[in-house]
Amino acid sequence: MSDITNEKKPLNSDPEILLRKRRNADRTRLEKQELARQRQEQRKKEQIKNKKKFIRAESLVANSLATSREKERIKRISKLEHKKLKGDVSHLPSEKNFFLKVTEKPQSEETDDLIDEDEEDGFEREKVAYNGEEQLLFVLRVKGPVAASIPHKAYRILSTLRLEEVNTAVFIKLTETTFSLLKIIAPYVIVGKPSLKSIRSLIQKRSKIVYKREDEEEAKEIILNDNNIVEEKLGDCGVICIDDIIHEIATLGENFTKCNFFLQPFKLNREVSGFSSLNKLKKLEQREVEKKTRKVSNASTAPIVQIDIDALIAKIN
């Protein structure tokens, strides 16, 4: 007679965590389908609205002229850089690239009777040659020339730098190559050299990453406030905490590129927002300041305007 074993057979069921994952996945899928349907309906409404929208002939002409000027500016810069690569610089006054540093004059400074033309608006301007050394720059995306569409070449550069949206910003390592790219996108960005204090403030307050947790099917954008995640993703480079990321970026370390692309572009506030009477007045004042500090030149040898980026970060961070 064969022995009868009373072994318990495992139940044919899934663990609770798998059931929870399936429920979450089903809910996420339905939510995405609903959002996609809403976006499609909104897109159809906007298309119908745009078809019925009346556009004045003057607006079309202004848009065409502004876009043509912008394309011509980029064409001049590209032609100049191509000649520099071939060594054909005999017709140029200088082979160097230049920065135009624009800083606000201290209010306590006493003004003399004889004031230079550049200093009449309360700003000091200094033209400085770029010596070719690597530098850290903070680049903030802003609105470009009025009524002009962004040319394809400029948009590709903005996309490469992850600056498709207005009021987003990134750190870049300035070299001779990136200087040429900055000249092309100069009307669409604000450039400055950040201090260690500003770098630390931005990363500690605004840094976000794309991270996939164990109980999630897709990676999501989260706030970077956990050193364990930093060690998990960048530990093989010797970067184990947020302070290490700050150090690598501030000093242009050997892991600068990995740390920089580990972070998402910084999404910053507007300098002035709202529709109250006071905010409207502030917007007018801001436009006047931008006219003085962000003068865009169509010349191929125009310098890149460099402002006091620390003061701006303090306002919009």
Q: Residue 6 domain-assigned?
A: no
Q: Which amino acid is at 235?
A: G
Q: Which residues pair with 101 in a beta bridge?
A: 126, 306
The residue segments making up the domain with residue 299 are: 53-105+120-314
Q: Residue 39 domain-assigned?
A: yes
Q: What is the pLDDT of residues 265-285, one digit of tens each?
A: 999 998 888 888 888 888 888
| 126 & 219 share domain | yes
Contact between 74 and 184 under an 8 Å Cβ cutoff? The reply is yes
Q: Residue 278 domain-assigned?
A: yes
Q: Residue 71 domain-assigned?
A: yes
Q: What is the pLDDT of residues 54-112, one digit of tens each?
A: 888 888 899 999 999 999 999 999 998 888 888 887 777 777 889 999 888 776 554 45
| 125 & 46 share domain | no
Q: Residue 114 domain-assigned?
A: no
Position 113 scores a pLDDT of 47
Burial class (CB in 10 A: 0-12, 13-18, 19+), 163: buried
Residues 73 and 8: their CA atoms lie apart, in Å, by 80
Contact between 202 and 266 under an 8 Å Cβ cutoff? The reply is yes
| 41 & 125 share domain | no
| 98 & 21 share domain | no
| 233 & 307 share domain | yes
Residues with pLDDT less than 70, the chain: 1-14, 107-120
| 85 & 99 share domain | yes
Position 115 scores a pLDDT of 44
Q: Residue 111 domain-assigned?
A: no
CA dihedral 289, 168, 249, 234 (to 10 degrees): 170
> In whole angstroms, how far apart are CA 270 and each of 35, 193, 206, 263?
27, 20, 14, 21
Position 174 scores a pLDDT of 95
Q: Residue 204 domain-assigned?
A: yes
Q: Residue 82 domain-assigned?
A: yes
Give the chain's domain count: 2
| 61 & 95 share domain | yes
| 69 & 178 share domain | yes
| 72 & 144 share domain | yes
| 178 & 212 share domain | yes
| 148 & 41 share domain | no
| 146 & 278 share domain | yes
Question: How is residue 217 annotated by DSSP?
Answer: S
